[in-house]
Structure 1
Amino acid sequence: MKRRAAVIGLGHQAVEDHLPGLAGSSMAGLVAVCDSDPGTLRAQQQTLRVPGFTDVRQMLDEVKPDFVIVAVPHHVGRQVVQECAAQGVHVLKEKPFATSPEEARELAKVCRLGQIELMVTLQRRFNPIHASTIGLLDQIGTPFLIDGQYTFHTDHPGAGWRGDVRQAGGGCILDMGYHLIDLLLWYFGLPDRIIAEFSATAQPDADYDAEDTAVIQLGYDNDLYGSLLLSRWVAPKTERLHVVGTRGSVQLTGGTVQRLNLDGTVAEELSRPHAPASAATAQIDHFCRVLDGERPNTSGPDQHLAHAAFIASCYRSKAAGRYVNPNEML
């Protein structure tokens, strides 16, 4: 029998990823949707044909789903998770897990007390290309340099709630940068020092304060170091992680990973261009297996304390004008 799932928040992420992911799932089915905007709700209900709600608590009371997929603005996430935990409803939450280390610790406690599973949605963890990268990294000797980039151009980088730090908690570092930061932590763990420079000046006449572009310098005590470039202004759209070692390098892009020889020639290459289309379904099915006790939850609250510490270190380092050790925030 399929698990009963509801979707809270019907913005771009839900429409493009989570709803199609549920449609393709063999382990879960959509039973309700919820959005605070009645117009958005009506538009989606016409095609989804499931009950719709504008109030989360009412939906939980009446539908009693097994789990919910939460894709709401960052400042709303805490309240939604708290309401779900109070009713024992499991949560598959769109990133970020939290907007600060303090909020991350609070939400982790809420989940423990409510005895619910919470897993953060990070589709790249369910893309075989990204998973295969770990094995290739083992073949390049001792890695010592990281060069990461995730950029795209949007005409209005500060539009809506994403441009307001009070609502979003941060800009490109906290939001889109979460994916690249997750890959870094997955492959190498939490750095020992971080310093960031960022700005919200791509559109000088626009009224927003959440950073649109950032450069993060990072280092580990084992002599691994590097930088990340994040931007929602810089074209063309680029997603790349290049790791250089003593015997070669690995270059990861959206749908391809290459292991390169020292002279830059390709030693081996793996490509799966259609993986993102199935990653959302794979993520939902994995979460169902977590709920069934068949899989570990490797993207739960405890793991994402490190993400919160990394991101907070970026903002703190900018204010302090010096490197910050994110491990001190755990």
Structure 2
Amino acid sequence: MKRRAAVIGLGHQSLEDHLPGLLGSSRAELVAVCDSNPDILRQRQEALQVPGFTRAGELLDALAPDFVVVAVPHHAGREVVQECAARGVHVLKEKPFATSVEEARELTQICQAGQVELMVTLQRRFNPIYTSVAGLLDQIGTPFLIDGQYTFHTDDPGGGWRGDVRQAGGGCIIDMGYHLIDLLLWYFGMPSRVLAEFSTTAVPGGGYDAEDTAVIQLGYDSDLYGSVLLSRWVAPKTERLHVVGTRGSVLLTKGQVQRLDLGGAVVEELTRPHAPASASAAQIDYFCRVLDGERPNTSGPDQHLAHAAFIASCYRSKAAGRYIDPKEML
């Protein structure tokens, strides 16, 4: 029998990932949707032919789903998770896990008290391109340099709630940067020092205070070091992670990973151009297996306390003008 699932928040991420993922899932079925905007709700409800609600609590009480996909603005996430936990409903939550370390701790306690599973959505972890990187890194000798970049251009980088630090918790670092930060923590663990510079000046007089562009320098006790560029202003759209070692390098881009020799020639590569839709369905199926006790929850609150600490160290570093040890934020 399939798990009964609902989607709370019908923005871009739900339309692009979560709804197609649920419709393609072999272990879950969509039973309802929820959005605070009645017009958006009506449009989606008609297209999907499922009940619609403007309030999460009403959906939960009326249908008691097995789990919900929560894809609401960052500042609204805590309340929705709390409502789910109070009713024993499990949560697949769109990143970020939390807007601060303090909120991350609160959410962890809320989930424990409600005895619910919460898993943060990170589709890249269900894409063979990204899961193969660890094995390739083992073949380039001792890695010592990281060069990461995740950028795209939007004419209004501070538009809506994303431009307001009080609602979003930050700008490109906590939002789009969460994906690249997750890759760093996944492949290399927590760095021992972080130094961040960022700005809100791409649009003069734009009236937003959440950073549109950031450069993060990081270092590990193992002598691995590097930098990451994040921006929702810099064109062209680029997603890459280049790791250089003593015997070669690994170059990860969206849809492709390559292992290069010291001269830059491709030794081996893996491509998967049509992965996103299947990765979303695979993520939902995996969460169902977690709920059935068949798989461990590898993207739960305990793991994402580290993400919150890394992000907090970036913002503290900027304020202090010096390197910060992210582990001090825990």
Give TM-score scaled by structure 1 length. Answer: 0.99
- The gaps in structure 2 that reach 5 residues or longer are none
Question: What code does the residue aligned with 2:175 have?
Answer: D
- 1:61-85: CA deviation from partner (whole Å, max 9, x where unpaired): 0010000000000000000000000
* Uncovered stretches (5+) of structure 1, i.e. residues with no partner: none
The one-letter amino acid of 2:189's match is G
Q: CA deviation at 1:207?
A: 1.0
CA distance in 2, matches of 1:206, 1:170: 16
Cα deviation per residue 1:153-210 (whole Å; 9 max; x = unaligned)? 0111000000011100100000000000000000000000001000011001211110
- Which position in structure 1 is the counterpart of 2:196? 196
Which position in structure 2 is the counterpart of 1:226? 226
- What SS does the aligned partner of 1:77 have? helix
Return the letter of the residue paired with 2:279: A
Alignment correspondent of 2:37: 37
Cα separation, 2, equivalents of 1:238 and 1:283: 24
Which residue of the partner structure matches residue 329 of structure 1?
A: 329
Q: Map 1:176-255 onto structure 2 (within 5 A).
A: 176-255=176-255
The question of 1:52 aligning with 2:40 is answered: no
> Which residue in the other structure is 1:317 paired with?
317
Moved more, 86-95 or 201-210: 201-210
Aligned equivalent of 2:274:
274
Cα deviation per residue 1:76-133 (whole Å; 9 max; x = unaligned)? 0000000000000000000000011111011001101100000000000000000001
Among all aligned residue pairs of Structure 1 and Structure 2, give the percentage whose two residues are the same amino acid. 81
Structure 2 counterparts to residues 1-330 of structure 1, below 5 A: 1-330=1-330
Give, as a single letter, the amino acid of the residue that structure 2 aligns with 1:323: Y
Pairwise CA distance, 1:319: 0.2
CA distance in structure 2 between the partners assigned to 1:45 and 1:218 by the alignment: 45
Deviations 1:264-322 (A, max 9, x none): 11111111111112110000000000000111100000000000000000000000000
How far did 1:46 drift? 1.1
For 1:141 and 1:203, the matched residues in 2 are separated by 43
How many pairs align?
330
Give the deviation of 1:329 after TM superposition: 1.4
Equivalent-residue separation in structure 1 for 2:306 and 2:322 (angstroms): 20
RMSD value over aligned CA atoms?
0.5
Residues 241-275 of structure 1, C-alpha deviations (whole Å, 9 max, x = no match): 00000110000000100000001111111111111
Shift of 1:238: 0.3
CA distance in 2, matches of 1:227, 1:91: 33
Q: Which SS does the other structure have where 1:76 is aligned?
A: helix
Q: Which runs of 4+ in 1 moved over 3 A?
A: none
TM-score, with structure 2 as normaliser:
0.99
The one-letter code sitting in structure 1 at the alignment partner of 2:74 is: H
